[in-house]
Amino acid sequence: LAAFDHRHIFLDPNPDAAASWAERNRLFALPRSSWADYDRSLLSPGGQIVERSAKSVELTPEVRACFGIEASHLAPAELMRRLLTAKVDLLWFGGIGTYIKESGETNAEAGDKANDALRVDGRDLRATVVGEGANLGATQRGRIEAARVGVRLNTDAIDNSAGVDTSDHEVNIKILLGDVVARGDMTVKQRDTLMASMTDEVAALVLADNYRQTQALTIAQSQGAALLEAQARFIRALEKAGRLNRAIEFLPNDEELAERMADRRGLTRPELAVLLAYAKITLYDDLLASDLPDDPAMAAELRAYFPVPLQEGQADAIARHRLRREIIATQATNGLVNRVGPTFVRDMMDKTGLAPADVARAYAITRDVFGLNTLWDVIDRLDNAVPAATQTALVLEIQTLVERAVGWFLAHGGHPLDVTAAIAAYRPAVDALTADLGQVLDGAEQARLAARAAIHTANGVPEALAHRIAALPVLAAAPDLARIANRTGQPVTAVAAVYVGLGRRFALDWLRDAALATRADSHWQKQAVAAIVDDLFAHQMELTVRVLTTDGPGADSAEARIRQWIAARRAAMERVEPLIAELRGQPAVDLPMLTVASRQLRGLTAER
C-alpha cells in the first residue's frame, strides 16, 4: 500500500499483488534503484510516487480513502506520520531510523534526531503486526506501549536473529571443513562446492530455530498472568545474581509487577522477548560451565546442528570440532527454552534444588522417552491448516507432560542422570502403553480420552495427533508404571490397567484436576498445589503396588484385583469413600479439603 525511504514516498492504494511484487522484485535486482524507477503504469488508480523534498503533497481521493486522511494536502513529514499510524495488516521497518517511541519519551531519548519530525507514539499505532527487518525501528518503551494497545510485535533482536544464526552456522561449518582440508581429506574447491550445495539446508535449520523461538514467545504470551509469578521470581533471581538490570531493560519493577498480578495482566511480548534472551544467555553460560557438553549422550545435539551431508560424510570431524562444547551448550539451551519457555529451568531448580545441567539432562530424557520431537514437528506442520490457538493448545498439553516428567526424572532418576540409560529403560514402557492403550483403558476411560481428542479434531487436528495428545495424561504415568513393573514383575500394560482403575475408583484424576483448578496466585500457593498433585500421584503408584503384591485368590482382570483388595479393607474404605463423595458434591474445592483427602489416601496406602 505504501512505503518511504530517504528520497520518495510510494503510495499504491489498491495494488495488484502479483504485478506489484514482480515490479518491486525488478527494482530490487537493479543497481542503485529507487522508487522513481517504478513503472507508474502498474500503480492502481490514484497511486502516487512523490519526493520527500516537496513542500506539500496533493493527495488523490483514492489515497485519502485508503489511509483515512481528510486533508487534500499534507507536508511529506505529516504524510509519513499518517502512514506509520495507518490501519494496516503489517508495518515493516527495513531501513535506518527509529520511528516509534513511547508517549512518555522525548525525541531526544529516542536517539535519532534525523527522524524527530516523523516519529510516532506506540499507543497510536493501528497496524496488526510490526516487523523489524532493521534495528532500532522502535524504542523498547515504544514497543511495550504498542503491545499494550494490541499491536503484535517482537523486539528487533528477535526479528533479526536469523541473520546472526546464519553467520554462526557459516562460521562453524567453515571451522569444521577447514579442519578437513588441513588434514588433506578435501580440497578447497571441494569444500566450496559442498558449502554451496548446503545453502538451502542451512537456511532451513536457521528458519526452524527462529520459528521455535517466536513460538516460545507466543506460548508464554498465551498464558498471560498465570506465568507472572514465575516470571517475577526469575527476574529477581537474575537481578540478585548480577545478571540483569531490569531498569535498563525496561522490565517492570516489583510494584508494577504486583499491580499486574492484581489486574491479571501479564508481560507484553516485547518484555517476554527480553526475558527469553536472558534465559538463553544465562542457561548457556551455566551449561557451558558444567560437564553436560562432555556427556556422550549430548553428541546427538552436536550432530543435529549440522546439515545432513556433513552428518553423513564428516561424522569424525563433527566429533572433534574445536567449538563442540559451545555448540552443544547452544543447542541444548535453544531446544529447552524454545520448547518449554524462559522460566522452566528456574522453576525446576527452585522445586528440586538441582543445577541447570540436571534439568537439561532430565529434559533430554523426557523429550526422547516420549518421542516429543515427532509430536512437535507434526504440530508445526499444521500451520495455516488449523487455528494458531489450536496449535498453542496442543503445545501446552505437551508442556504439562514435560513439567511432570522432568520433575519425576529429577526426583527418581539418580544423580547425575544417565541420559542414555534412562531413555533405554523408560522408552519401552511408553511404546508399550501407546500400542496397547485400548486394552489398558476400560470403557469409561476410553470415552474420556475420546472426548478430549474430539475437542482437538473439532478444530481440524488430524485424528491420530488428537488421540496422541489426548493420551498424554495417561502416558505421563509411564515412568511410574515402569518402576512398578520392575518391582512387581508384572507386564507394564497389566500394571497400567490397575493404575488407571485405581485412579478412577478413588477419583484421583478428579482430585488432581480440582487441585490444579484452585486459585493459586503466589509462589507458595502454587507450590502447595504442586505438592498435593505430586502426593496424589504417589498415592496412586503405591496403591497400585499394594494391589499387585497382595496375595489372594486369582483374579482375571485389573478390576477384579482392585475389588478383591478393597473388599479386604472395608474399615479403611468407610473413611475414604464418603470423604471423596462429599468433596465431589462441593460447589468449590480448596486446598485444605484436598489436603485432608490426600491424608486419608496416604493412610489407605499403609493398609496391608
DSSP calls for 11-40: E-SS--HHHHHHHHHHHHHSTT--GGGS-G
Q: Return d(Cα 295, Cα 421) in angstroms, integer.
A: 12
In this structure, the number of other CB atoms found within 10 A of the CB of residue 174 comes to 13
pLDDT at res. 550:
81
Q: Enter the DSSP assignment of 59.
A: P
Predicted confidence at residue 458, as pLDDT, reads 96
101: enclosing H helix or E strand: strand 100-101
Q: Where are the alpha helices (DSSP H) in 413-442?
A: 419-435, 437-440
Helix and strand tally (H, E) in the chain?
A: 32, 10
In the predicted structure, residue 130 carries a pLDDT above the cut 80:
yes
Please state, in angstroms and rounded to a whole number, the distance separating the CA atoms of residues 240 and 250. Answer: 17
- For residue 462, what pLDDT is reported? 97
Is 568 a residue whose pLDDT tops 70?
yes
Question: Which of these, 445, 582, 438, 572, lies nearest to 504 by C-alpha position?
Answer: 445
Give the contacts of 321 (CB within 8 A, at least 6 positions apart). 172, 175, 176, 179, 302, 327
Q: Average of pLDDT values for 415-427?
A: 94
* DSSP annotation of 152: E
- C-alpha 503/C-alpha 335 separation (Å) is 34
Single-letter amino acid code for the residue at 537 = F
C-alpha cell at 235: 527476574
In 3D space, the residue among 516, 511, 517, 510 whose CA is nearest the CA of residue 530 turns out to be 516
pLDDT at 441 (0 to 100): 86
| Vertex 303: Cα angle to 299 and 306 (nearest 5) | 155
Say what the pLDDT of residue 553 is.
61
> How many Å apart are CA 317 and CA 100, to the nearest integer?
47
Please, are residues 488 and 541 in contact by the beta-carbon 8 Å criterion?
no
The amino acid at residue 311 is Q
Backbone angles phi, psi at 290, to 5 degrees: -95, -175
Lowest-confidence pick of 168-182, 283-297, 431-445, 551-565: 551-565
Question: Rounded CA gap, 566 and 551, in Å?
Answer: 13
- pLDDT interval class at 590 (50, 70, 90): confident
Q: Report, as an integer, the average pLDDT of 218-232.
A: 94
Query: What cell does 584 get?
Result: 465431589
Grade residue 563 by pLDDT with cuts at 50, 70 and 90: confident
Q: How many CB atoms lie within 10 A of CB 360?
A: 28
Q: Do residues 437 and 471 touch, judged by C-beta distance below 8 A?
A: yes
Sign of CA dihedral 418, 421, 425, 427: positive
- Tally of CA atoms within 13 A in the half-sphere of 45 that contains its CB: 3
Find the mean pLDDT for residues 515-540. 86
Furthest CA-CA distance within the chain: 99
The grid coordinates listed for 1 are: 500500500
What is the CB-side half-sphere exposure of residue 48 using CA atoms within 13 A? 18
d(CA 26, CA 386): 35
Confidence of residue 162 (pLDDT cuts 50, 70, 90): very high
> What is the pTM for the complete model shown?
0.91
State which H helix or E strand residue 73 sits in.
strand 73-74
- pLDDT score, position 555: 66
- What pLDDT digit, counting tens, does each position of 330-347 carry? 999 999 999 999 999 999
Render pLDDT for 468-525 as a digit per residue (tens, 0 to 9). 999 999 999 999 999 999 988 889 999 999 999 998 888 898 899 888 888 877 778 8
